[in-house]
Amino acid sequence: MAFVDKEVTPDFPDGLTIQSGRGQWRDASGTIEKERSYELILLYPQAAAQSSDRRIEEIRRDYEKTFGQEAVGRVDDEARVDF
């Protein structure tokens, strides 16, 4: 949560969701790695997509560097939400 507080919340202060799970993937050497995983869900207006994209990519790079990750996945989708 310290990473989220420092790196994510300042760029997405309106809210976010984090889900934890277990995942696996094949690393660059071909080894199957199994580890705890996290899913960060960010919702923002479509009009903010371009500026959000840049900030999300910065967060991904910072996460890779901070936690020694080879890759951090990303999925983009459009959704209709209401609060």
Q: Around Cβ 9, how many Cβ atoms within 10 Å? A: 14
**40 vs 26: CA distance, rounded Å:** 21
The pLDDT assigned to 34 comes to 95
User: Is the pLDDT score of 31 beyond 90?
Assistant: yes
pLDDT at 83: 86
pTM of this structure: 0.85
